Amino acid sequence: MWLWWKGHENARPWAPGPGARLRGAARARCRALSGRSRQGVPRPELRRGERAARARVSGLLGHAGVAHRVRRGGVRPHGALAGAAPGLPPAAGPAEHRLRQGPHLRGDGGSGPGLSRPDRFPPGERAMRWRGGGVGGLVLAVGCAPLEVERRVERGPVLRTYTQEVALGEKGLVAEVEAQWPRLTFRFLSSEVCRTEKHEEFIESVITEHYESSAAPALSAGLANTVLGGALLLARPLFSNAPDRDAIDREGRYGASHRKKATVWGSVLMVLGVPSLVTGIVQSLRSGEETETRKGDTVVSLREAPCRVEPANGTVEFAGGAGAPPAPRPTTDGALTLTVEELRGMRFEGVLLEGVPAALTPEARERVSNFRVCARLLTEPMDAAVLARAGEGQLRALRQQVAGCEAIPEAPAGERLRALDEALSAQASHVEAPESPQVGSFEEALAAYRPALNITPDSAAVQKLEDPEALTGQALVLRGVLERYEGPNIAVVQVGPMQVLVFLAQDRLWGAEVRRGSRVELVGVMMGRQRLGDLELPLVRAVWMRTAL
């Protein structure tokens, strides 16, 4: 900035003027007089001669500088006579020289007040080049600096919604079950797993923001410093150019004037403010936003389901179940049909096609289990004498199973239901024998029946349950875990490794209070072995049952 100010002041090409030539001649004459006076001249007179010579040289220098300024700016010096020639005026007296010479200021080189020294400043063109190069380098440096980038995405309106099916490459095997009396058909289907995706297509705007967090502080600070520095430089003529006579250094020179102080402060503020202002302007011009509009796509929902379903053929194997597995059978057009006679002797839990397990839905498993039970119930002979000897609870459980066979199309369940209803009607008129004691608690049942057997999971008596016919009619105490209910009044109790069917009288409220998984103990009478669906277990008629700790 100092170069800029000095170059502006000396914008004209520099050339030595007449003032400079006169000052050079005056200095040479002063040196000559001083040298000649020192040769053979007494000291006091030498001093007077030196003072006189210096006074004359000082006058010449002062008039030369004034003449140079008059020639350049047309300003008449203070104290010059009207009509005096602008060249070399007559030498002034010592008093006038002292008044014109005045005190020396710092940095003025011993010249008179207001005397310019153009030989000490660079030419104007060179200063302008330095100034332009500095500003250009600053702009390039700031313009190449990286900016901070912030990117955000804003979603717009939805254009359309569509569905897309994507194959995942996973293959599956499913077995469907169809029941049509007297046949049960397995249909094997191979499929792939496909994902159905629901998409939404919309417009989104990608906004990229470039900014520099220091642009605003740099712009404000640079503007303030530049304005203040420029104001000080422009207001220099308003400040006094007289030296500060309150301050003097060791060499006897007074302090700088207020104008010079304003110049220095203005230059410093301009040097600090202009680069900051340029930096802030460049960074502000480089900052901005870029908006890119594009299409967006998102998945709003998805569902996986079998697709590309085809019949599968091969050899069907049966897995699980008690005893030896059934013999493998081939499929025909992806289907395997089993008759009632074939299914009665088969025990299996799952099916495989060419060694690959076929998935069975819960409905298909329930359909297979129901058909297997109905294959036995609807084909075995039902004797009226056997039904008359059966208890009411057993008859009701059997009727419930036969009624489930009505879900199979064309199943002959009507005749058996009528026979069971007749047996239940006959049981309704039956009154309990007077010798059967009536009890109201577990302790009363123990006192009335006096059981001879105490069967617990860790006792040796549990082995006697393998031959329930030998225990028929005996009273016993049974302890175990109630696993499940097979009907409204038939429960399955696990006693160690054995399972026992327990008949609960419907008029006994205590039978409905026991939950599955509870530890129970009961007093009952062994009724022999009973078949219930796929189960063939010992049957105990409970007199009283309660939960055990």
Does 107 have pLDDT greater than 60? no
Say if 538 falls within a structural domain: yes
Say if 114 falls within a structural domain: yes
Nearest Cα to Cα of residue 342 among 315, 309, 308, 318: 318
Query: 218 and 116 in one domain?
Result: no
- Percent of the chain predicted with pLDDT > 70: 69
Query: 221 and 114 in one domain?
Result: no
State whether residue 207 is helix, strand or coil: strand
So what's the pLDDT on residue 443?
87
Nearest Cα to Cα of residue 150 among 286, 283, 288, 282: 288
At 237, the pLDDT band (50, 70, 90 cuts) reads: very high
Q: Could you count the other beta carbons within 10 Å of the beta carbon of residue 440?
A: 9
So what's the pLDDT on residue 109?
41
Q: Residues 484-538: pLDDT tens digits?
A: 888 777 889 999 999 999 988 765 555 556 788 889 999 998 888 887 767 888 9
Residue 540 near residue 473 (C-beta atoms within 8 A): no
Does 477 have pLDDT greater than 90? yes
Phi first, then psi, for residue 424 (nearest 5°) are -70, -35
Say if 378 falls within a structural domain: no
At 1, the pLDDT band (50, 70, 90 cuts) reads: very low
Say if 273 falls within a structural domain: yes
Q: Residues 204-230: pLDDT tens digits?
A: 999 998 878 888 888 888 899 999 999
Does 100 have pLDDT greater than 70? no
Say if 524 falls within a structural domain: yes
Among 227, 253, 286, the domain boundary falls at 286
Nearest Cα to Cα of residue 112 among 91, 94, 98: 98
Lowest average pLDDT, out of 99-108, 183-192, 480-489, goes to 99-108
At 160, the pLDDT band (50, 70, 90 cuts) reads: very high
How far from the centroid of its chain's Cα atoms is residue 333's Cα? 53
Q: Residues 358-369: pLDDT tens digits?
A: 988 888 888 888
So what's the pLDDT on residue 133?
64
Give the mean pLDDT of 299-322: 86
Tell me the average pLDDT of the chain: 75
Entry pTM: 0.39
The CATH code of the domain that includes 522 is 2.40.50.200
Query: 116 and 6 in one domain?
Result: yes
Say if 338 falls within a structural domain: no
Lowest average pLDDT, out of 23-27, 325-329, 441-445, 488-492, goes to 23-27
Nearest Cα to Cα of residue 264 among 549, 530, 5, 525: 5
So what's the pLDDT on residue 507?
56
Phi first, then psi, for residue 161 (nearest 5°) are -125, 130
Phi first, then psi, for residue 410 (nearest 5°) are 65, 20
Give the mean pLDDT of 267-279: 88
Whether the ω angle into residue 409 lies within 30 degrees of 0, i.e. cis, is: no
- Percent of the chain predicted with pLDDT > 90: 14
> Which domain range does residue 500 map to?
434-547
Say if 168 falls within a structural domain: no
Residue 492 near residue 504 (C-beta atoms within 8 A): no
So what's the pLDDT on residue 185?
92
Give the mean pLDDT of 172-180: 89
Say if 149 falls within a structural domain: no
Query: 114 and 8 in one domain?
Result: yes
Which of 49-63, 76-90, 263-277 is most confident?
263-277
At 188, the pLDDT band (50, 70, 90 cuts) reads: very high
Is 167 or 335 the better-scoring residue by pLDDT?
A: 335
Q: Residues 397-425: pLDDT tens digits?
A: 788 888 888 888 888 888 888 888 878 77
How do strand 490-495 and strand 453-455 relate by DSSP bridges?
unpaired
So what's the pLDDT on residue 140?
61
Residue 83 near residue 34 (C-beta atoms within 8 A): no
So what's the pLDDT on residue 397?
79
Among 102, 120, 138, the domain boundary falls at 120
Among 120, 150, 170, the domain boundary falls at 120
Give the mean pLDDT of 173-194: 90
At 50, the pLDDT band (50, 70, 90 cuts) reads: low
So what's the pLDDT on residue 31?
59
So what's the pLDDT on residue 200?
92
- What is the DSSP code string of 292-340? EEEEEEEEEEEEEEEEEEEE--SEEEEE-SSSSPPPPEE-BTTEEEEEH
Q: Domains in the chain: how many in total? A: 3
